[in-house]
């Protein structure tokens, strides 16, 4: 650098490794017109340079791309112009526009002067909000029941309890980003313990997908600038005056003095991000979900009164469902107590229905779980899960034909009493190994049937060993055996029924063989016993005898 005041920021001789003028000009000529850099970048001095020490504050810091390596994707650069007070300024600029020197917060006239042929459009905040709202509604329907818009540009999705439905948090986030890319948005996703931390990391984090492990919230947000904490502008300027740059600067400071300097709302924001103060997400309500409401003149507390309200609500809901041609698969009844807390009970049905008597019976099973406290004064009944339900053709019933009775109502009643997992049908599985031939299936589905081999009515979940077995090898049923300390003398037997191991499941079953016999003892008891191994090859089994079930 030459001494004597010759230094000037941006001087051409101060730059190093510049390509020659001819190179630059050929590269510029290759670019489309809108992507060509302004005159300033070409080194001409017919217009004012932006102040070298003026920090660009608006928006999050993005690395400024050189005009020569922008990928325009065939889209012309775009900037949105909105009104801030009485001044028109650039409120948003795409990557291409940023590369041309346009940045948010710049006066609109300045931007127009810099790049005259840029695509300037008026900003439409209402349309943006409407689009974001539609996205929130989509999230409520598709991803999580709790999703809400965060003002201006974000979406909160409560993943607790539903991440596994989408293949885990990581996978869900990747799908979310891919979804937004397909829809034409650039998405940044952060998953954290608190809504505040996720809000900060999504906007100021280093990468487009950040997952914070549970409990690591403080460490994750500490390097972020304090702007990330959603502070009021006055608090931000105050913090700058006191030299707080990042969240980490705020963490070790005593709360009392900090509150006096930045204001109490700033402390609340910090605590919300760290999880010390709860910040519930008010979900976007889905207007399409059928909901009915009853407000009571005075609080009720008895089971009979609650039942009456349930019946009234169901009558209202049935009308709503019928008008839309829907049937409820799930119902959620919320009662508002006098003390402001909510009592929530839910029921599910195995088929879509809007039959009031049936739904009322399911809800009545839940009355005992409602704690009325000092009384309930308001009720909502929501059908969060509905399916189309058209009118049913009753012609065959009216003609007097007997129909196969629909078990769905019975299944609902029992499932309401003991839980849905405890009601099932036993369905066949294509396997010859007895313990694998049966599986539990949906009670409303109609399963197939098994091959007609003789099978015991009680099958032991694990076979029990027999002792002192006398049997002729290789294919005779045992003559006597000891089981559970008692000796059984066999008078008749059927068999063997050979079952081979399923080699495609486990290596140990490649050669395994079981020979099953149905035997009867002197008292008429019938047993299902088997021997491991076929009696010739050693690797088919060790010739031990086992009891696997009893016939009647």
Partner 1 sequence: MSAVLNPSAPTIAHLRTIATPATDFRIMPFGVDAIDGRLGAGGLRAGALHEATAQSATMVDDAATTLFLASIAAREAAATGGPVLWASCRADLYAPALEQIGLSAAAVIHAQPRDDAALLAVIEDAVRDGTPSAIVAEASKVSMVATRRLQLVAAEADMPVLLLRRRRGLGENPLAEPSAAWTRWRIGTAPSERLEVAGVGRARWAVECARQRGGEGFSLIVEGSDETGRLAVPAGLGHRTAETVGTVRFAAA
Yes or no: say if 200 and 193 are a contact pair by the CB < 8 Å rule.
Answer: no
Q: How many CB atoms lie under 10 A from the CB of residue 123?
A: 16
Our finding on whether 347 is near partner 1 (CB under 8 A) is no
Residue 399 vs 523, nearer CB to partner 1? 523
Candidate list 359, 437, 466, 513; residue touching partner 1; CB under 8 A = 437
Candidate list 248, 427, 510, 543; residue touching partner 1; CB under 8 A = 427
Our finding on whether 438 is near partner 1 (CB under 8 A) is yes
Compute the least distance from the CB of residue 434 to partner 1, in Å: 8
Burial of 463 (0-12, 13-18, 19+ CB in 10 A): buried
- Contact region for partner 1 (CB under 8 A) — 93-101, 288-296, 333-341, 492-500? 492-500
Question: Rounded CA gap, 493 and 495, in Å?
Answer: 7
Question: Rounded CA gap, 354 and 328, in Å?
Answer: 6
- Contact region for partner 1 (CB under 8 A) — 11-19, 157-165, 252-260, 488-496? 488-496
- Contact region for partner 1 (CB under 8 A) — 71-79, 284-292, 335-343, 432-440? 432-440
Residue 203 vs 518, nearer CB to partner 1? 518
- Contact region for partner 1 (CB under 8 A) — 60-68, 247-255, 400-408, 537-545? 400-408
Our finding on whether 287 is near partner 1 (CB under 8 A) is no
Question: Rounded CA gap, 313 and 302, in Å?
Answer: 17
| SS3 call for 273 | helix
In sequence order, which residues have a C-beta less than 8 Å from that of residue 118 and are 6 or more positions away? 34, 77, 78, 79, 97, 100, 102, 111, 112
Q: Which H or E run contains 551?
A: strand 545-551
Our finding on whether 455 is near partner 1 (CB under 8 A) is yes
- Contact region for partner 1 (CB under 8 A) — 189-197, 199-207, 418-426, 467-475? 418-426
Candidate list 138, 179, 380, 460; residue touching partner 1; CB under 8 A = 460
Candidate list 189, 274, 519, 529; residue touching partner 1; CB under 8 A = 519
Compute the least distance from the CB of residue 449 to partner 1, in Å: 6
Q: Go through the chain and tell me how many residues it has.
A: 552
Our finding on whether 356 is near partner 1 (CB under 8 A) is no
Token pair recorded at residue 163: 């991440």
Candidate list 165, 446, 467, 473; residue touching partner 1; CB under 8 A = 446
Q: How many CB atoms lie under 10 A from the CB of residue 517?
A: 21
Candidate list 141, 261, 366, 425; residue touching partner 1; CB under 8 A = 425
Rg over alpha carbons for the chain, rounded to the nearest Å, is 37
Our finding on whether 493 is near partner 1 (CB under 8 A) is yes
Residue 169 vs 502, nearer CB to partner 1? 502
- Contact region for partner 1 (CB under 8 A) — 51-59, 132-140, 388-396, 517-525? 517-525
Our finding on whether 369 is near partner 1 (CB under 8 A) is no
CA distances to 200, 359, 518, 544 from 491, rounded to whole Å, are: 80, 57, 11, 21
Token pair recorded at residue 342: 């909510």
Our finding on whether 354 is near partner 1 (CB under 8 A) is no
- Contact region for partner 1 (CB under 8 A) — 101-109, 207-215, 505-513, 518-526? 518-526
Our finding on whether 399 is near partner 1 (CB under 8 A) is no
CA distances to 343, 363, 409, 416 from 366, rounded to whole Å, are: 11, 5, 16, 8
| SS3 call for 88 | strand
Our finding on whether 37 is near partner 1 (CB under 8 A) is no
Our finding on whether 489 is near partner 1 (CB under 8 A) is no
Our finding on whether 411 is near partner 1 (CB under 8 A) is yes
Which residues 461-480 are close enough to bind partner 1 by CB under 8 A? Answer: 461
Question: Rounded CA gap, 546 and 552, in Å?
Answer: 18
Yes or no: say if 118 and 111 are a contact pair by the CB < 8 Å rule.
Answer: yes
Q: How many CB atoms lie under 10 A from the CB of residue 311?
A: 16
Compute the least distance from the CB of residue 425 to partner 1, in Å: 6
| SS3 call for 152 | coil
Question: Rounded CA gap, 467 and 471, in Å?
Answer: 12
First to last CA, the chain: 105
Yes or no: say if 439 and 429 are a contact pair by the CB < 8 Å rule.
Answer: yes
Candidate list 450, 475, 480, 511; residue touching partner 1; CB under 8 A = 450
Residue 123 vs 438, nearer CB to partner 1? 438
- Contact region for partner 1 (CB under 8 A) — 214-222, 268-276, 304-312, 522-530? 522-530
Our finding on whether 524 is near partner 1 (CB under 8 A) is yes
Candidate list 127, 339, 523, 542; residue touching partner 1; CB under 8 A = 523
CB burial readout 240-263, b (16+ within 10 A) else e: eeeebebbeebeeeeeeebbeebb
Q: How many residues contact partner 1, by CB under 8 A?
A: 57
- Contact region for partner 1 (CB under 8 A) — 32-40, 128-136, 411-419, 504-512? 411-419
Token pair recorded at residue 408: 């769905």
Q: Do the bridges between strand 342-353 and strand 326-337 make them parallel or antiparallel, or are there none, so unpaired?
A: antiparallel
Candidate list 145, 311, 346, 447; residue touching partner 1; CB under 8 A = 447
Token pair recorded at residue 446: 């109609």
Our finding on whether 160 is near partner 1 (CB under 8 A) is no
| SS3 call for 489 | strand
Binding site for partner 1 (CB under 8 A): 402-407, 409-411, 413-414, 417-418, 422-428, 434, 437-438, 440, 443, 446-450, 452-461, 491-494, 518-520, 522-527, 549-552
């Amino acid at each position: 650098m030459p001494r004597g005041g010759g230094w000037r920021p941006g001087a051409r001789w101060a730059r190093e490794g510049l390509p020659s003028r001819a190179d630059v000009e050929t590269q510029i000529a290759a670019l489309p017109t809108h992507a060509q850099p302004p005159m300033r970048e070409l080194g001409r001095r017919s217009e004012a340079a932006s102040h070298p020490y003026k920090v660009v504050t608006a928006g999050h810091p993005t690395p400024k791309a050189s005009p020569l390596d922008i990928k325009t994707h065939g889209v012309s650069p775009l900037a949105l112009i909105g009104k801030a007070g009485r001044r028109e300024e650039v409120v948003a600029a795409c990557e291409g526009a940023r590369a041309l020197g346009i940045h948010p917060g710049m006066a609109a006239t300045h931007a127009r002067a810099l790049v005259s042929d840029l695509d300037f459009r008026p900003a439409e905040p209402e349309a943006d909000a409407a689009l974001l709202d539609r996205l929130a509604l989509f999230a409520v329907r598709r991803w999580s029941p709790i999703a809400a818009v965060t003002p201006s540009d974000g979406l909160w999705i409560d993943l607790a309890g539903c991440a596994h439905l989408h293949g885990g948090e990581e996978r869900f986030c990747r799908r979310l980003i891919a979804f937004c890319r397909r829809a034409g948005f650039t998405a940044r996703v952060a998953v954290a313990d608190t809504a505040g931390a996720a809000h900060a990391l999504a906007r100021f984090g280093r990468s487009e997908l950040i997952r914070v492990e549970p409990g690591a919230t403080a460490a994750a947000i500490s390097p972020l600038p304090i702007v990330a904490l959603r502070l009021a502008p006055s608090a931000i300027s105050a913090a700058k005056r006191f030299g707080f740059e990042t969240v980490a600067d705020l963490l070790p400071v005593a709360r009392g003095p900090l509150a006096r300097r930045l204001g109490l709302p700033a402390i609340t924001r910090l605590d919300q991000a760290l999880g010390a103060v709860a910040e519930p997400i008010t979900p976007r309500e889905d207007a399409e979900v059928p909901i009915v409401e009853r407000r009571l003149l005075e609080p009720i507390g008895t089971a009979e009164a609650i039942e009456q309200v349930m019946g009234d609500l169901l009558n209202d809901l049935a009308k709503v469902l019928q008008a839309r041609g829907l049937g409820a698969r799930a119902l959620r009844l919320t009662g508002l107590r006098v003390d402001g807390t909510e009592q929530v009970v839910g029921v599910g049905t195995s088929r879509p229905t809007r039959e009031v008597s049936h739904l009322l019976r399911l809800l009545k099973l839940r009355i005992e779980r409602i704690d009325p406290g000092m009384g309930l004064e308001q009720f909502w009944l929501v059908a969060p899960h509905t399916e189309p339900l058209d009118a049913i053709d009753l012609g065959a019933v009216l003609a007097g034909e007997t129909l196969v009775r629909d078990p769905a109502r019975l299944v609902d009643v029992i499932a309401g009493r003991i839980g849905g997992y405890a009601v099932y049908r036993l369905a066949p599985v294509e396997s010859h190994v007895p313990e694998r031939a049966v599986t539990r299936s949906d009670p409303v589905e109609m399963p197939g049937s098994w091959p007609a081999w003789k099978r015991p009515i009680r099958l032991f979940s694990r076979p029990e060993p027999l002792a002192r077995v006398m049997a002729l090898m290789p294919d005779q049923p045992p003559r006597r055996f000891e089981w559970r300390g008692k000796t059984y003398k066999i008078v008749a037997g059927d068999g063997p029924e050979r079952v081979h191991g399923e080699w495609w499941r486990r290596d140990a079953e490649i050669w395994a063989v079981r020979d099953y016999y149905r035997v009867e003892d002197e008292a008429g008891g019938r047993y299902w016993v088997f021997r491991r191994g076929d009696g010739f090859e050693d690797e088919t089994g060790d010739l031990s005898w086992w009891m696997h079930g009893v016939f009647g």
